Structure 1
């Protein structure tokens, strides 16, 4: 099998693996890794109310340390395919760029990791180290772009039951902002969704004394919850923030005071907080304003998006040095952006995210420069070499 990251990326893009469909992507990786000597396991996980998801775990070597490359082969839908300059699952190469859904997020990152590891094994007699020590693994899921129930969490549980242990992980998400080498993600903020509900009394607008308009209370509580910052941030994280995203009373009649008003919100929070401490904080702030005059409740949406951070140290320094050697850039250690599967992996080992540039991910004409694929492969190869030195 080819260790060319461009060919590997192209072949993965040609697998239409829109969440949660496997689309042939895991089968392709299984064939490549099996040919290289990996023990490959594919499994499908089930959960009531969620779609079944196929996943893959592969390992070569039997001893510690075990360096893991993680990622997902599922992609978001391409949308209206007629708006694409090149078909989203074609893997066309035009003017030095490879087009296709998943080119950046994140089949390209997986392909670069596979190519780097295959090159490393070829130079070391098919082993992570010439003396046979150490292991390299791939942890590949199929629903990161979905609800992330039957993917990485279940796959990690399966690995734990099999006695698989991990020492460090590189997750190939598109971490860079403008140029390859500008950013390593060492953590992610947590995410919590909720709905603020104010309970009033329905009535005719001509007789407001007979009703209790919940909209007034909702406006007051929204203002109170946003009046003070949740925190001021810290060296690893930006300040936490709360954003209201919709306000709804479900009222289609102009002369009717509604009986209830709702406002949905999201909180992106740092490691000053937990989900439970945030719930308590918002309840406390709302009660101060509401007193006995406003009747309200919160509805909280279950969330597995908890905050985490990998403390800077020898592993992050090794990754940053490899990046600098190839790109001449000193990457920023960042915790910005949305959630990723790193939030699950962090419970098993230290994890950093470093992949391609995320400029075109999830967009029409998603694409990656060929030069970036080759450079990322070299970076991953240096990481592997230094890890096992």
Structure 2
């Protein structure tokens, strides 16, 4: 299939615009909050869509309600996987929404609702591109896989992790449809992610009657010093690996533009510093009892080049020596080299469709991509429709134009990566 004639990507998308937007609306209407994590409704929407288009779908349900879907087309050494998560964070109080979160209303060129941006727009675009790829060329010159997963919003144990550990999912190249549009920059390619080090820190005290607090040791008050030291979010800077310098430099630029109104808070430092957030604090049993224990759950983000050991050392330097530190979650930082073919192809496709610079960056948060990089040593990136700032907010929405543009990008990738079709800047 080398040298195959380029597909008419844009015509295919414009012809199917109603199809993909209708699919998105139905996905938004299919509730899948995590917790509790049940993806039965959106998985049924995707399964019906694929079945109606002639595809057989494999269902994987490691725990009741946590449904993951797999479909594939073509064969050969070249392979590409499209992946998206169909769970969402909870909508919260529906009274706070101007438009009901699960109505899936389309208005003024936007689709509104919980999960519209994060990331059912990406899922609809990926599924549509997968189906259209089969229509455009019967014999795809490689293997294209579509993977729709559960549990991303809770770490992926019953989603991507389960698929990989069970041997159902293997890939060399992965594209996630996560929202990657940023204010001031436009769409980016997320080629790396910081690591996660979550710890539960417990401080002890001495319990006495609340009427005689001077006789006890108040564990909550004992936490004041550590909390003050942890109020500064930057624990320390890392030496960035040479091959990741471009990613970190571009990340700083993107963060500076995105949060230009909050520049004094130095959000761009997050690109190459360990950061800490005090997320949960619990202490005391009753108002008239001096608390003998207080616990804090801390979220430390580990930059490219950082380690679990250094994260723990920097954290403990801000805690009392008698603090008990329990690691409750760890994921190492990982990235796909910006010089890789996959990153170059996604950037090229993004430039061609949206006319943007499309830099490759490192995300300060995490996605399912880190499972593929660390467990399968795959090249993995995120690129998708929607503003990153729209994730997890009330009155979430996505622009229809972004959904259609993402479809055009994904169709280009399917041909460029699998069939050897014409592409502007990939050397032959």
Using structure 1 for the length normalisation, give the TM-score.
0.82
Residue 180 and residue 232 in structure 1: after superposition, are their counterparts in 2 closer, same or farther (change >3 A)? closer
Please state whether the residue corresponding to 2:91 is helix, strand or coil: coil
Alignment of 1:176-255 (within 5 A): 176-178=181-183, 181-202=186-207, 218-221=223-226, 229-232=235-238, 234=240, 235=245, 236=248, 237-245=271-279, 249-250=283-284
1:94 aligns with 2:77: no
Task: Tell me the alpha carbon deviations over residues 103-154 of structure 1, each in whole angstroms, 9 at most, x when there is no partner.
Answer: 11111111112222333322212x32xxxx3110011112222353211110
What is the rounded CA distance, in whole Å, between the counterparts of 2:230 and 2:119 in structure 1?
A: 37
Q: In the TM superposition, what is the alpha-carbon distance from 1:176 to its structure 2 partner? A: 1.7
**Larger radius of gyration between Structure 1 and Structure 2:** 1
Q: In the TM superposition, what is the alpha-carbon distance from 1:90 to its structure 2 partner? A: 2.8
2:382 maps to which residue?
353
What is the rounded CA distance, in whole Å, between the counterparts of 2:157 and 2:279 in structure 1?
A: 25
2:44 corresponds, among 27, 48, 73, to 27
1:168 maps to which residue?
173
1:296 maps to which residue?
323
What is the rounded CA distance, in whole Å, between the counterparts of 2:333 and 2:74 in structure 1?
A: 32
User: CA contact under 8 A between 1:37 and 1:60: conserved in structure 2?
Assistant: no
What is the rounded CA distance, in whole Å, between the counterparts of 1:17 and 1:215 in structure 2?
A: 37
Please state whether the residue corresponding to 2:363 is helix, strand or coil: coil
What is the rounded CA distance, in whole Å, between the counterparts of 1:145 and 1:334 in structure 2?
A: 21
User: CA contact under 8 A between 2:176 and 2:369: conserved in structure 1?
Assistant: yes
Using structure 2 for the length normalisation, give the TM-score.
0.76
1:155 maps to which residue?
163
What is the rounded CA distance, in whole Å, between the counterparts of 2:38 and 2:347 in structure 1?
A: 35
Residue 207 and residue 87 in structure 1: after superposition, are their counterparts in 2 closer, same or farther (change >3 A)? closer
- Structure 1 vs Structure 2 CA RMSD: 3.1
Please state whether the residue corresponding to 2:390 is helix, strand or coil: coil
Unmatched 5+ residue regions in structure 2?
1-14, 249-270, 421-428
Please state whether the residue corresponding to 2:154 is helix, strand or coil: coil
Task: Tell me the alpha carbon deviations over residues 171-211 of structure 1, each in whole angstroms, 9 at most, x when there is no partner.
Answer: 00112222784322112212222233333444589999965
1:329 maps to which residue?
356
User: CA contact under 8 A between 1:184 and 1:352: conserved in structure 2?
Assistant: yes
Q: In the TM superposition, what is the alpha-carbon distance from 1:32 to its structure 2 partner? A: 2.6
Q: Which 10-residue stretch deviates more, 34-43 or 137-146?
A: 34-43
What is the rounded CA distance, in whole Å, between the counterparts of 1:68 and 1:332 in structure 2?
A: 21
What is the rounded CA distance, in whole Å, between the counterparts of 2:360 and 2:67 in structure 1?
A: 32
